[in-house]
Amino acid sequence: MSVEPLLELSGVRAGYGAIEVLHSVDLILEPGAVVALLGPNGGGKTTTLRVCSGIHPVSSGEFRLAGRVVNGVSAAEFARLGVCSIPEGRGIFPNLTVRENLWIGTGTGVPLADLEEVAYTRFPVLGERRSQLAGSMSGGEQQMLALSRALGTHPTVLLLDELSMGLAPRIVSRIYDIVGELAAEGVSILVAEQFARAVLPIATSAALMLQGRVVRTGDPAEIEEELSTTYLGG
Ligand code: ATP
């Protein structure tokens, strides 16, 4: 019996104003999968994630979530459907405390006490720093805060954009270990990464995105190899 995809883009086009940047994107996230969206700068990874989180409109094609067509559904409704995203740059508020960031970030009505429990249980360091300004923490701790905010809503789908940005390799691998734990707990994950090697240990498949199209999907290590030798000059 085939499993219905959790998230499915078929022939999706999207852009900014009159400029189309996604040219018929096909992408599938199966339940329990970790799909790495890989590709050079400007290929359309961030726009694809924005479409998947409901904050960027689809101009044509079909976007399905758990079998339901969701073209035009609001971002707030996406959150209620269990889709949660961490944008490039983490989306935290540097001038607010850890606790305030947890409170302000979700918009799903989950009580603060529940958000704090999830955050501090998984990341005790955030509990120690609950009254500290988020902007004064290290990049890795800020990424933990961003992950905590997402986890507090108990998502079924997690959309992650460039988690490695600005972090030392050791911290990147720690953050991806945590993402791997979430996947093992059953969260389905679509993760865009330019630093493809970081995501290889946890990816179940990869999609290579070039110039607004997914040109290939398959084994993460093979796609990373193709990306680094053919497109990034490595
Ligand atoms: P990066 O890693 O640099 O974010 P990406 O693969 O995530 O790259 P996108 O950010 O989705 O790619 O960009 C795809 C194309 O859309 C690029 O040509 C980019 O210049 C363009 N683009 C992105 N954001 C906007 C915007 N707000 N207005 C106009 N064009 C945009």
Residue ranges per structural domain of the chain: 7-82+155-232, 94-153
Average pLDDT over residues 55-78: 88
Reply yes or no on domain 7-82+155-232 having CATH 3.40.50.300. Answer: yes
CA distances to 49, 171, 178, 204, 221 from 7, rounded to whole Å, are: 11, 29, 22, 15, 23
Contact 82, 110 (CB under 8 A): no
Contact 160, 128 (CB under 8 A): no
Contact 196, 227 (CB under 8 A): yes
- Taking only the tens place, the pLDDT of each residue in 120-171 is 998 999 999 999 999 999 999 999 999 988 888 889 999 999 988 888 888 8
* C-alpha–C-alpha distance, residues 51 and 45, integer Å: 10
Q: Which numbered atom of ligand 1 lies nearest the CA of 50? A: 11
Closest Cα to atom 10 of ligand 1: 46
Residues with CB under 6 A from ligand 1: 16, 21, 39, 41-47, 194
Closest Cα to atom 8 of ligand 1: 42
Neighbour count for residue 107 (Cβ, 10 Å): 11
8-state DSSP, 152: T
- Taking only the tens place, the pLDDT of each residue in 27-49 is 999 999 999 999 988 999 999 99
End-to-end Cα, the chain, rounded Å = 41
Is the pLDDT at 233 greater than 70? The verdict is no
Is the pLDDT at 106 greater than 80? The verdict is no
